[in-house]
Chain A
Amino acid sequence: GAVVSQHPSWVICKSGTSVKIECRSLDFQATTMFWYRQFPKQSLMLMATSNEGSKATYEQGVEKDKFLINHASLTLSTLTVTSAHPEDSSFYICSAHLGETSGSGAPYEQYFGPGTRLTVT
């Protein structure tokens, strides 16, 4: 259980275009999802916290108009990189937590998706 998927797994787009990345919790409902960005050989940096039915909370320094986050349902959050540029090329990872879970997972444990590799040419 507690599986998170992302689509696409990799995407190449031209500079100036927009690209949407989907994050789905497959077997649980996630009231909160998180979006991270990871550059090669670096750690994960939290971009924003996404709550179902409300506006995302962005971390300091993250442009909300460039990285649009929508959490339309309890199983789906999307990240849209608008007017992408080469410097936006990165590995984007989402996670979701179970809230006050039952079962073997810890409360609010985050389960990560497999990541999406974005390359902007």
Chain B
Amino acid sequence: QQQVKQSPQSLIVQKGGISIINCAYENTAFDYFPWYQQFPGKGPALLIAIRPDVSEKKEGRFTISFNKSAKQFSLHIMDSQPGDSATYFCAVRGHYDHQGGKLIFGQGTELSVKP
């Protein structure tokens, strides 16, 4: 049972372009929606996260757009750079008290930014 569906599986973007990665979830009990960046051979690192009471959050070149009614959220990377080339994972988390704070990850998107 896939509770989080992430797309696309891979993405190639030219330097300076916009990278967009999408995630859809099924359970309305989720209350925290982070995005992680992972480089080969490394652990994932938190990039940006959003809670369902806001529709958008921006941090530098990274923006999360959140659509609660559609149960979808997306990551936008503006002015993409070759150094952004990595695998990106969306995740969802239920309320800590009820679900132990467990993260459920999407399938991942391998982003390649061409110079």
Does B associate with A? yes
Q: Is B102 an interface residue (CB 8 A)?
A: yes
Q: Is B43 an interface residue (CB 8 A)?
A: yes
Contacts of A109 in B (CB 8 A): 34, 46, 49
- B81-115 CB mask vs A (1 if < 8 Å, else 0) is 00000000100010010001111111110100000
Q: Is A77 an interface residue (CB 8 A)?
A: no
Q: Is A13 an interface residue (CB 8 A)?
A: no
Which single residue of chain A is at the shortest CB-CB distance from B102?
A46
Contacts of A67 in B (CB 8 A): none
Q: Is the CB of A106 within 8 A of B108?
A: no
Chain B interface residue count, CB cutoff 8 Å, equals: 23
Indicate the size class of the contact surface on chain A.
Answer: 20 to 34
Q: Is B12 an interface residue (CB 8 A)?
A: no
The distance from the CB of B101 to the nearest CB of chain A, in whole angstroms, is: 5
- B32 CB contact (under 8 Å) in A34, A106, A112: A106
Q: Is B41 an interface residue (CB 8 A)?
A: yes
The distance from the CB of A56 to the nearest CB of chain B, in whole angstroms, is: 11
Q: A43 to B103, alpha carbons, bound, how many Å?
A: 12
Closest 4 CB pairs of A and B: A112-B43, A108-B101, A115-B43, A43-B105
Spell out A's residues near B (CB within 8 Å). 4, 6, 32, 34, 41-46, 49, 57, 91, 93, 95, 97, 106-115, 117
Spell out B's residues near A (CB within 8 Å). 32, 34, 36, 41-46, 49, 89, 93, 96, 100-108, 110
Q: 23 pairs across A/B with beta carbons < 8 Å?
A: A4-B43, A41-B110, A42-B107, A43-B106, A44-B44, A44-B89, A46-B104, A93-B44, A95-B43, A97-B101, A108-B96, A108-B101, A109-B34, A109-B49, A110-B101, A112-B43, A112-B44, A112-B45, A113-B43, A114-B42, A114-B43, A115-B43, A117-B41
